[in-house]
Amino acid sequence: MTYVDHFGPHRALGVKAIHKIRWRKPTDRGATIRERASTCSCRATVYSLLTAGGLMFIRRFVDEDGEVEVRDSPWVRPVEAEEVWESLLKGHAV
């Protein structure tokens, strides 16, 4: 079996986005942050679904010429974050 580092689903492209995520600079809000899921790292933009302190959020990593910009979505209840995550993967959120 071959292990592929950071392998995950790809975000759908070419779909009309209907949900705009308010991306912000990360904060040191949670002492322990755990990754629940992430997209494949083969693209310049990678997303991670993270959890901390009973809340969840999405972290976006954009690699432009070696400079990585990191932004977080708002921290929300898990059910809300999972809905946004699914919408993001389907290409309906940006």
Whole-model pTM: value is 0.84
pLDDT at position 40: 86
Which of 24, 84, 28 lies closest to 56 in space, CA to CA?
A: 84
- SS3 of residue 20 by DSSP: coil
> pLDDT per residue over 40-84, tens digit each?
888 889 999 999 989 999 999 999 888 999 999 999 999 999 999
DSSP 61: E
Angle at 73 between CA 62 and CA 3, to 5 degrees: 55
Distance between CA 54 and CA 80 in Å, rounded? 12
Asked if pLDDT for residue 90 goes beyond 50, the answer is: yes
Closest CA relative to residue 12, chosen from 58, 53, 43: 43
